[in-house]
Amino acid sequence: MRVTPTPKLAWALGILYAPIFIALLIGFGGDYDEIGNSADNFFSAVVIPMGILTVAIVALTTWLGWWRPVISDDRPTPRWMLAVPIVMAIGIAGSIAVDLGRTSDLDTSFLLWLTIGTLLIGFCEEMVYRGLTIVGFRSGHREVRVWLFTTLLFAVLHLWNLAAGQGLMGTIQQFGYTFVLGSVYYVIRRSTGTILIPILIHAGWDWTGFASGSEAFSSEAAASSASDGAGSGVAIFAAVIAVILCLIGARKLFTDETPSVMANATA
């Protein structure tokens, strides 16, 4: 590794990511409440900023020399906790199926940019908050603090959406549920032994979130039917089950209470 991981570096990476993203979003004309309403909005507000951040994160991780500990996780985790990513994947797949079935006149360009954009979001946010910061914090903190600090930083990231036009109450609610979701993503990394699965689950979750609230997925028939919003409901139900599983297994995740001191970083 070119750079030795430290908790201070983890704090810096986790804190700086948020204002950089919001600056890019605002710079390219993005309004948070309008992001999902058209292909052009989504492209300018998500795909371009996240594309820039993807290149930057890849370059940074390469320069740091942290790819191996970022991608892989060899911390012992109960095998049954693989149920967490499985439940989330099933729920998200069902949600996507419901959303796609809500309209027969879907803008294919919006679908394309939605898919690319949410994959980029999943990659960037997981690389930072379940990758780089985990590597940094593990160099000097017990695992329970690694989970707490990385998940808290992930939740704080979403408070910055206020600057992009999101309402106050919506932002406060988002802070709460992103802390919970961040905990689920952490467990998924631990249980699967790789950051790749959290990236895909995160992307799928955001896909359903944008789709369920998007005008692009609404037709006159769908808007007045019980199916409107049902897609996100399927994913939320799966997330509730996943959270319960995480709580049941939480004690097992933090049985090793000694600082790792670069256990992963030097592997």
What is the longest distance spanned by two Cα atoms in the chain?
58
Better-predicted residue by pLDDT, 13 or 171:
13
- Look at residue 22 in the predicted model and tell me its pLDDT: 85
Residues above pLDDT 70, as percent of the chain: 84
C-alpha to C-alpha distance for 146 and 144, rounded to whole angstroms: 5
- Look at residue 235 in the predicted model and tell me its pLDDT: 86
Q: Is there a contact between 158 and 175 (Cβ–Cβ < 8 Å)? A: yes
Angle at 75 between CA 73 and CA 79, to 5 degrees: 100
Angle at 218 between CA 212 and CA 222, to 5 degrees: 100
Highest mean pLDDT among 24-28, 169-173, 187-191, 221-225: 187-191
* pTM for this entry: 0.87
pLDDT tens-digit readout, 119-134: 999 999 999 999 999 9
| Span 21-44, average pLDDT | 79
Instruction: Give whole-number Cα distances, 23 to 35, 46, 74, 153, 161, in Å.
Output: 15, 12, 35, 18, 11
Q: Is the pLDDT of residue 218 over 70?
A: no
- Look at residue 267 in the predicted model and tell me its pLDDT: 39
**Domain residue spans in the chain?**
7-253
- Look at residue 220 in the predicted model and tell me its pLDDT: 44
- Look at residue 33 in the predicted model and tell me its pLDDT: 66
pLDDT tens-digit readout, 159-207: 887 876 778 888 888 899 999 999 999 999 999 999 999 999 999 999 9
pLDDT tens-digit readout, 33-85: 677 677 888 898 899 999 999 999 999 999 999 999 999 999 989 999 999 99
Length of the chain in terms of residues written = 267
